[in-house]
Chains A and B, each alone.
Chain A
Amino acid sequence: MKRFIILILTITILLTGCWDKREINQLAFVQGLGIERGKDDMIHIIVEILKPGLLTAGGGGAGGTGGGSAAGKPYAVFQASGVDFAKAFSNLNNELPRSLFLQYNEIIFLEEKFATSGIYQTLDFMTRNPEFRRTAYILVVTGGSLEELFDLPSSSELERYPYKEVLGIIANQRNTSSSYVCDLNEFIETLEIPQKAPITGRLEIVKKDGKATGLRMVGSAVFNKDKLVGFLEEQDTKAVMVLMNKLKRSTLTLDKGLKGEKAHISLVVTKAHTDIIPKVQDKDISFDIKVNIEAYMNEQETKYDLTEPQNLEKLQLLINDKIKQAINRALFILQKKYNADVVGFINILHQRKPKEWKKVQQDWDKIYPDVKFNVTVKSIVRRTGLSSKPILPR
């Protein structure tokens, strides 16, 4: 009897496993998932599916044959519509000979119109479905349809398929900080903080004579709740990133010389740290923003010797000015134009002054546009590069 029970147990344990088994060669690797608002308010999804055979069939051979012809593309594009996201997905599955495999998808492309109409249900699907990685980036695509994006011939020809290019561009943002790309996890986390607004990257399809020719990251897209409300330019994005303490490395260009003359001086910001301290007086809420910047010289059009302490000091003052202006501008746009608390001042208030937060948090969207900010910037230029004195042509 005991043996019999052991046998039954063994069988039940061993025979449960195969149900979710799928061989790796029966998968449709999705790399690139786009969501649009289709006709009749339908959700329209578009996926880029890799063809493993073509991708690994030797770089030279495939490159030679795939130099433009559709058959040589190492990926295929499929589309489907549905009343909601799940329906669209199952419709997509109906077209595919292999089962969709989403875990490798690292970017979710949101078409501009769709983003404007709200992406709540998409996020709901993505958080429920175990196949979506929370590390996937969210991008808002402007300047063209997603079909155009996926159909782009690899513009730079450095990568085999457009998705890879976007991934590369995103990775490069770490050095330039010209756009802030948010991943799914952060997006959802931000949404769950009341009154805080998410921000993510904006990908523009570059067009020439009405034909899509390339891709470019331009600044960021600002959301309010789950709806896209507008865009930030590159400079403003950088300023917002400084405020969010997210700036890792960026180029800063001043447009005047040390004595106010017209010239360009470029610096690389290597460190930016911001402290935001909320202040409440009577009913007025204001924030002290203290920014610390570390940078090194990259290039100058003037001929100052920057090893001279006075010159360096002047330069630092110029940097302070420039950054202060940029931050004020960005804050103004966020406050007055979009009324979106991207930096999360409400969050800081919650942490630092919980009592005040309780009073204002319900009406924050009314109070926020009138909040005062007091920005002070302190910058240090650490290095001047290899040269101390500029080359003087004689």
Chain B
Amino acid sequence: MPHKAANPEYIRQNYQYMMLSKDLEENIYIFQVLLKESSDVVFREFNIGDKKVKGFLMYIDGMIDKFVIDRNVLRPMMIEARKLDEVTYTKKQFFDYMKDYFITACDVKEKDKIGDILDGILEGDTAVIIDGIDKSMVISTKGWEGRNISESTTESYVRGPKEAFVETLRINTSMLRRRIKHPDFVIENLKIGKYSKTDVSIAYVKSIADDTVVQEVKKRLKKVQIDGVIDSGYLEEFIEDNPFSPFPQIAHSEKPDKVSAEILEGKVAILVDGSPFVLTVPVIFAQFFQAGEDYYERYFLASALRVLRIIAMLTALLFPSIYIAETTFHQEMIPTQLAISVAAQREGVPFPALLEALFMEVTFEILREAGIRLPMQVGQAVSIVGGLVIGQAAVQAGLVSPAMVIVVALTGIASFAIPAFNIAITFRLLRFIIMIAAGTLGFFGIIMVVMMILAHMASLESFGVPYLSPLTPSRAQELSDVLIRVPWWAKILRPRTIQRKNIVRQEDTRG
């Protein structure tokens, strides 16, 4: 063949810009060059009706719904077309006729660039090329096996919707759409990743969300140039405001109810194909202490639990440090009886309190890490061994004092009481820094590090929203959703820290 397309090397480099030719053989050759090494690509040649017109069909096995191809593409073209009378269509018209009268699949696009067709195939579409026509029908036949919608494992409720996002983007968007049935609810699509070409969706309500935030999210997402996006965690790191901060500046959730509630507050959700975790921006610190269930249970209880979570947060962050500081520097602060008992317990312990605490905390972290990664059956064994090691043996061996066991156990449990896992890990990490400060400088050190952390938090921003708002800069009205959860009928306004253009959440019906 004299055509340039004969050269496979040329094809591989320029397929993006090449057009389909009218010659079916040549088209087949081009696609075979591009895809022949993959065993999961199916090429199917067939005759249309009894007109002896040759057709050619391509798809990737496993990505498509075979039933759709069988019944809505192949069957009409091969069998139904036989009923055609002797009509003399030009080849051009024949293509449109096929598309308009025979293909019964609902989503059919005309494509004439090789690159576009190839992209379609790789996404799970089926391409049909007819001899003598330099256009192809790309029929949406996506259909692959996915996980069923099931209960969330990371966020579990007693009361409230149980369903959680799955790995399939369209199912995820449908779960959101089912909750927000309004034309203003927009789901925009993007493709990120040079090789992975991952579908990423941005979801927001046009009339609520702050435009600047939406634009900023799009701008930041478009800047991401990476080989592949496997999970939303990749994007989180690319688009957050301060990548060097230990604090998460983007929230993620597995629960459609939580995400849609946030969208209704004016936030922007970022959904990534293949990830059941949906990102939402902007985010404020107080949000990490709000469990979805708070809004479904009675508000007294929810408010009390919030206070409890704050206490748990402080415990997880500071309890070991306070213990260390008090036993090494500020013994006068412990009640006498307790001090004597602690002193007696520590009598045989060879390490200073700091080392003792670090030893125990690290042991605990190892156990925790092992317990998460291991299969369930082995995990139980780990927890039994861990319980024995921490609870009994370490004390009896004189490595640690019983009081320290209580401190570490309480700290560990407290860190589990924080509903957002990502902020809990932050505290886990910061705890060690504060512990070292407490062991070297006592309360002075604790206060120094805590003030450094606070200063850092005050300087953080998430998509233009100050991280510590509404505490600082303070908005008295919005404090109603920080430490306490006011009843729904009292939530007249949406949080103004997140957006300002449409702040009325409900009519004030209380008269």
Contacts and interface: CB of A to CB of B under 8 A. Distances in A.
Nearest to A20: B329
Contacts of B336: 29, 31, 104
Interface in A191-247: none
B440 A55 contact: no
Interface in A13-34: 13-18, 20-25, 27, 29, 31
A201 B134 CA distance: 111
Contact of B341 (A21, A23, A31, A56): A56
B329 A25 contact: no
Interface string B136-172: 0000000000000000000000000000000000000
Given A23-B328, A23-B352, A29-B336, A18 B440 contact: yes
Contact of A24 (B339, B437, B440, B445): B339
Given A17-B440, A50-B340, A101-B331, 12 more contacts: A21-B442, A22-B328, A23-B328, A23-B352, A24-B327, A24-B331, A24-B339, A24-B342, A24-B343, A27-B331, A27-B343, A57-B344
Q: How large is the interface on A (under 10, 10 to 19, 20 to 34, 35 or more residues)?
A: 20 to 34
Contacts, number: 71
B343 A52 contact: yes
A121 B123 CA distance: 91
Given A14-B440, A24-B353, A104 B339 contact: yes
A260 interface: no
A93 B398 CA distance: 29
Contacts of B344: 25, 52-53, 55-57
12 contacts: A14-B437, A18-B440, A23-B328, A24-B339, A24-B342, A24-B353, A25-B346, A29-B336, A50-B340, A52-B347, A53-B347, A101-B331
Interface in B415-450: 437, 440-442, 444-445, 448
B328 A24 contact: yes
A145 interface: no
A116 interface: no
B37 interface: no
B369 interface: no
A104 B334 CA distance: 9
A14 B438 CA distance: 10
Contact of B331 (A15, A55, A57, A103): A103
Chain B interface SS verdict (over half): helix
Given A17-B441, A17-B445, A18-B440, A104 B343 contact: no
B332 interface: yes
Contacts of A16: 441
Interface string A48-82: 00101101110000000000000000000000000
Given A29-B340, A55-B340, A21 B328 contact: yes
Interface of A is mostly: mixed
A354 to B, nearest CB: 41
B81 interface: no
A14 B448 CA distance: 11
Nearest to A131: B332
A280 B35 CA distance: 117
Interface in B286-312: none
The interface centre, meaning the residue of B336, B352, B445 with most chain A CB atoms within 10 A of its CB, is B336
A24 B346 contact: yes
Contacts of A22: 328-329, 331
B28 interface: no
Taking each of B339, B346, B353, B444, which has the highest tally of chain A beta carbons within 10 Å of its own beta carbon? B339
B352 A52 contact: no
Nearest to A130: B332
Interface string A87-104: 000000000000001011
B399 interface: no
A103 B333 CA distance: 9
A21 to B, nearest CB: 5
